[in-house]
Amino acid sequence: MFFKHKQRYTVYTYGAEVLKKPASFIDDIDDDVRQIAVDMLQTMKVFSGVGLAGPQVGISKRIVALDIPAEYASKATTPGEVMLLPRMPMVVINPEIIGYSDEKSTAEEGCLSVPELFAPVERPMFVQFRALTIDGELIECECGGLLARCLQHELDHLDGTLYVDRLTPEEYSVIEPKLKRLLKNGRKNDFKKDIMK
Ligand SMILES: [Zn+2]
């Protein structure tokens, strides 16, 4: 007889300490890191995210899972999008942004760690991105579009910053009551999903 067991996936939400502190660099891409990558890809899928950073699953390491939808590949304008979008979903290790464009754009963002809220964030339109893949390949490329926005959002997580920290005072005041509610509920409100398998 087989017993089904419940697998619980948790994403830490606004107010959790792990979301506020800088994550540490990964020295070795070993079996532990590869297992974290597999678990993060699964968690991202369960919550239908386009990106997930280590701290969001309680792991204070510089690791990010990305899954920009395939439809964006047809709109790719930068070498980074052309190179990386066909490789989604993917995991990057010790990602860095080493250059930003002066040109900026504003778009609505959401975050699995700030459930059910969305707000417009202004960010540089293009970034020069560098990271290791989970296989240890060094990638460096110019990225635009949703990929550039997603990278900036996820890399912020590695430095303890959330997109709500980047809102204008006006935009912040719109969502502030809901943020306060999230904060009050604290860990009880961590975003959880149980999957039977
Ligand atoms: Zn986020």
pLDDT at 146: 96
Quote the ligand 1 centre to 163 CA distance (angstroms). Answer: 7
pLDDT tens readout for residues 25-79: 999 999 999 999 999 999 999 999 999 999 999 999 999 999 999 888 888 899 9
Catalytic residue among 116, 154, 170, 176: 154
| pLDDT given at position 197 | 55
Ligand 1 centroid from CA 137, angstroms: 25
pTM (2 d.p.): 0.92
Q: Per-residue pLDDT for 159 more than 90?
A: yes
Expressed in angstroms and rounded, the spacing between residue 21 Cα and the centre of ligand 1 is 14
Query: What pLDDT was estimated at residue 71?
Result: 86
Helices (H), the chain: 31-46, 79-84, 145-158, 169-185
Do 125 and 147 contact (CB within 8 A), yes or no?
no
Residue 131 and residue 155 in contact, taking contact as beta carbons nearer than 8 Å: no
Task: Give residues with Cβ within 8 angstroms of 127, minimum separation 6.
Answer: 97, 99, 100, 101, 142, 143, 148, 151, 152
Question: What pLDDT is attached to residue 189?
Answer: 46
Ligand 1 center to residue 110 CA distance, Å? 7
Q: In this structure, how many other beta carbons lie within 10 angstroms of the beta carbon of residue 87?
A: 11
> What is the CA(161)–ligand 1 centre distance, in A?
9
pLDDT of residue 128: 98
Q: Which tens digits make up the pLDDT trace of 141-156?
A: 999 999 999 999 999 9
What pLDDT does residue 5 have? 67
pLDDT for the residue 7: 75
pLDDT value at 136 more than 60: yes
Q: Does 142 participate in catalysis according to the annotation?
A: no
Region for 159 from its dihedrals, namely left if φ exceeds 0, alpha if ψ lies in -120 to 50, beta otherwise: alpha
Q: Walk me through the domains of the chain, giving residue ranges and CATH numbers.
A: 6-188 (3.90.45.10)
Kindly report the average pLDDT of the chain as a whole number: 92
